[in-house]
Amino acid sequence: MHASELQTPAAVVDAEALDLNLSAMTAALPGPRLRPHVKAHKTTALAARQAAAGHRGFTCATIREVEGMAAAGLGEDLLLANEVVDAHRLGAVVADGGRVTLAVDSPATVAAAASGGVREILIDVNVGMPRCGCDPADAGRLADTARAAGLGVRGVMGYEGHLMMEQPRGERGAKTEAAMALLVRAHADVGGELISGGGTGTYDINTWVNEIQAGSYALMDTAYGSLGLPFVQALFIEATVISVNQGHWAVADCGLKALGMDHGNPSIPGAKVWFCSDEHVTFSADPLPAVGDRIRVIPAHVDPTMALHQALHLLGPDGTVTETWEIDLRGW
Amino acid sequence: MHASELQTPAAVVDAEALDLNLSAMTAALPGPRLRPHVKAHKTTALAARQAAAGHRGFTCATIREVEGMAAAGLGEDLLLANEVVDAHRLGAVVADGGRVTLAVDSPATVAAAASGGVREILIDVNVGMPRCGCDPADAGRLADTARAAGLGVRGVMGYEGHLMMEQPRGERGAKTEAAMALLVRAHADVGGELISGGGTGTYDINTWVNEIQAGSYALMDTAYGSLGLPFVQALFIEATVISVNQGHWAVADCGLKALGMDHGNPSIPGAKVWFCSDEHVTFSADPLPAVGDRIRVIPAHVDPTMALHQALHLLGPDGTVTETWEIDLRGW
């Protein structure tokens, strides 16, 4: 099948670009230096590629992602880098032989881990973004609480998400250093072998952690594309032009229900995007395309885009669909 | 089961509010005066409620919605209010006994309807929003083209989507009148029994069409909630507080992957939303909730929110889950 035969909108991947991204990251962060974040693609088939490249540990954002990764045989070392108040589904994964390490940032989430049957935790430390993570000064005490509850403490994590898009690069480096100083100090109080953090925007800047949780680098989006990283756009939404208003605008069938919109409008190479509706993107271009033409839309934010699609079609250089992967880690 | 036992984030519906909304709309627009738009809820079980209230014709935005409605026994009169360039799946629905009317706005989409096995069309007329729809002056000629291709021409549609949020109401009325003058003139050239248009924001203002395509009124969102309509918020995302930074903020497990974000941040009654991440909403409130507390988040835009959830849980007044509906019209 050729991409032009896919029902649109369809999530398609330039297989060569994906390979390039995977190789570039593995070269920079081999083996356990990278703990790929599956939230950015929600696809066990893609995670299997990352595992084949030597990254055996993964980062997850949801219980469903942990369950799905374990069921796909990728449960050797799963970090749920997020707090939960009911860990019994994670405990079931552990009972089935998966290794699950759960982030905790409060006595309540420590208690949830212990009562749910999870055996290992990381202390999640707030390094400056107003989200999860304990006060760095509380990390040691929380680790003691976890140990007293019978949990193994593997170390600390701290996500500098507020710095991923910081420009210029030098500024991103300076602020990351300051954020990571908090994490390193917390680690001294906590102990354990893991200092986990980072993302696609700081993968080669954050040298204070010993594993990087990057995910977006594999497929990319226009937000990360603006940073000048050595990763190229691999994900596109294939769309069909369904209406043309001659001399003014065209409309394709790729709208709010096919695109993560929190980072704003998507991009269309060679065109100017006007706005998106539920099932439409309105754009201008010179010349305008014709009704029936195919276009490729680039999402502004990869993660929520993946949550809206059922399948990812890999394309060879001539547009042939070489593989179709189910986006099987959606939902909760 | 009680709502507090649902895995979060979970899409829940105040069943009483839903009933109130359905009744209020049916009272205003009985029977065929309303052609409910299923794109706003993507749930055949909810559509069955609308059908039971006397609305036997439905509006769809995607081929998948048409197929799913017909498969659920709700295919008596389905309007796909959108252009397609390949109608063979719609033709299959027609061959199976469903009635499908397809919007067309160009010779290419007329040809697609005819070759795909669709037998009836509406001329989609542009009434001012830069999206689909032909120039009003071309509508009559396009109807002739359709008739020459053997298609039945049921009338016209024109969606004044750009006016739904126009404030104050008087201004919305004046602009809707001007937009509908274009549609009525096109209808004089086209003929047929249907003049279709309107939405939740103009359901009682647009008296020029003979059927209204409203959908959002059933579940509602904060955008439509700002218009002072007689519909109340029925949809909420049930979420769990997973982290609290005392004196500053709290975090619940309802983020970009559980919310349509194109209209901006969601709302939390009694709280101030700071921002959303993939799986988190950060907010402040006085007092802050505790880890493990449940909260209800109100989406800014209902339609893309529904596309992110698998199920809709109806809640009785005490929070008991009285029914669970599959959101079965997702995808394309």
Instruction: Report pLDDT for B11.
Output: 98
CA–CA gap between residue B193 and residue A314 (Å, rounded): 46
> pLDDT for B277-295, tens place per residue?
999 999 999 999 999 999 9
> pLDDT for B316-327, tens place per residue?
999 999 999 999
Count Cβ atoms below 10 Å from residue B178 Cβ, excluding itself.
13
DSSP A184-221: HHHHHHH-SSEEEE--GGGTTT--SSSEE---GGGT--
Instruction: Report pLDDT for B238.
Output: 98
Spatial CA neighbour of B86 closest among B103, B67, B109: B109
Q: Is the complex ipTM more than 0.95?
A: yes
Instruction: Report pLDDT for B14.
Output: 98
CA–CA gap between residue A51 and residue A45 (Å, rounded): 10
Give the chain A residue nearest B245 (alpha carbons).
A134
Instruction: Report pLDDT for B252.
Output: 98
Q: Taking CB atoms and an 8 Å limit, are B256 and A279 in contact across chains?
A: no
For the residues B18-34, what does the mean pLDDT come to?
A: 98
> pLDDT for B217-233, tens place per residue?
999 999 999 999 999 99
Instruction: Report pLDDT for A214.
Output: 98
Cβ within 8 Å of residue A241, ≥6 positions away: A250, A251, A252, A289, A290, A291, A292, A293, A294, A295, B85
pLDDT in tens, chain A (332 residues): 999 999 999 999 999 999 999 999 999 999 999 999 999 999 999 999 999 999 999 999 999 999 999 999 999 999 999 999 999 999 999 999 999 999 999 999 999 999 999 999 999 999 999 999 999 999 999 999 999 999 999 999 999 999 999 999 999 999 999 999 999 999 999 999 999 999 999 999 999 999 999 999 999 999 999 999 999 999 999 999 999 998 899 999 999 999 999 999 999 999 999 999 999 999 999 999 999 999 999 999 999 999 999 999 999 999 999 999 999 999 99
Instruction: Report pLDDT for A232.
Output: 98
**Residue carrying structure tokens 């490729």:** A296
How many Cβ contacts (< 8 angstroms) between chains A and B? Answer: 138
| Dihedral sign for Cα atoms in the order B267, B268, B269, B270 | negative
Phi, psi of B281 (to 5 degrees): -120, 125
Give the chain B residue nearest A105 (alpha carbons).
B243
Q: Taking CB atoms and an 8 Å limit, are A106 and B262 in contact across chains?
A: no
Looking at beta carbons, which residues of chain A come within 8 Å of B87? none
Instruction: Report pLDDT for A156.
Output: 98
Instruction: Report pLDDT for B54.
Output: 98
pLDDT > 90 in chain B, percent: 99
CA–CA gap between residue A13 and residue B144 (Å, rounded): 42
Spatial CA neighbour of B83 closest among A11, A260, A288, A277: A277
Instruction: Report pLDDT for B107.
Output: 98
**The two structure tokens encoding residue B63:** 């081929």
Helix residue spans in B32-168 (DSSP H): 44-52, 63-71, 88-95, 107-116, 139-148
The greatest distance separating any two alpha carbons of chain A, rounded to the nearest whole angstrom, comes to: 71
Q: Taking CB atoms and an 8 Å limit, are B243 and A132 in contact across chains?
A: yes
Report yes or no: A104 and A113 within 8 Å, Cβ to Cβ: yes
Structure pTM?
0.97
For the residues B38-63, what does the mean pLDDT come to?
A: 98
Report yes or no: A20 and A232 within 8 Å, Cβ to Cβ: yes
Interface test mutation site (partner B, options A253, A282, A312, max chain B beta carbons within 10 A): A253
Report yes or no: A87 and A112 within 8 Å, Cβ to Cβ: yes
Report yes or no: B21 and B232 within 8 Å, Cβ to Cβ: yes
For the residues B185-192, what does the mean pLDDT come to?
A: 98
CA–CA gap between residue A266 and residue A257 (Å, rounded): 12
Instruction: Report pLDDT for B187.
Output: 98
